[in-house]
Structure 1
Amino acid sequence: MTRFFLILTLAVFCASCKSPEARRPISAKTGSFIDQSVQRNIQLNERETADIEKIMSENPEIDYIASESGFWYYYNHKVADSLLTPGFGDLVNFDYNVKSLDGSLIYSKGSLQNQNYLMDKQELFTGLREGLKLMRPGETATFLFPSQKAYGYYGDENKIGTNVPLICEVTINSIKDL
Structure 2
Amino acid sequence: MNLDVREMELAETSLVIDYFYSSSIEQLDLMGIDPTRMPTRPVWAGLFKTLYELPLSERAALLVIWRLDGRPIGFSSCDRIVFGNRAHMHLHVTEPELRGRGLGTECISRSIDLYFERLRLKQLFCEPHAYNTAPNRALQKAGFRYLKTYKTVPGPMNYHQAVTRWLFER
TM-score above 0.5? no
Q: Higher helix fraction: Structure 1 or Structure 2?
A: 2
**TM-score w.r.t. length of structure 1:** 0.26
**TM-score w.r.t. length of structure 2:** 0.27
Highest Rg: 1 or 2?
1
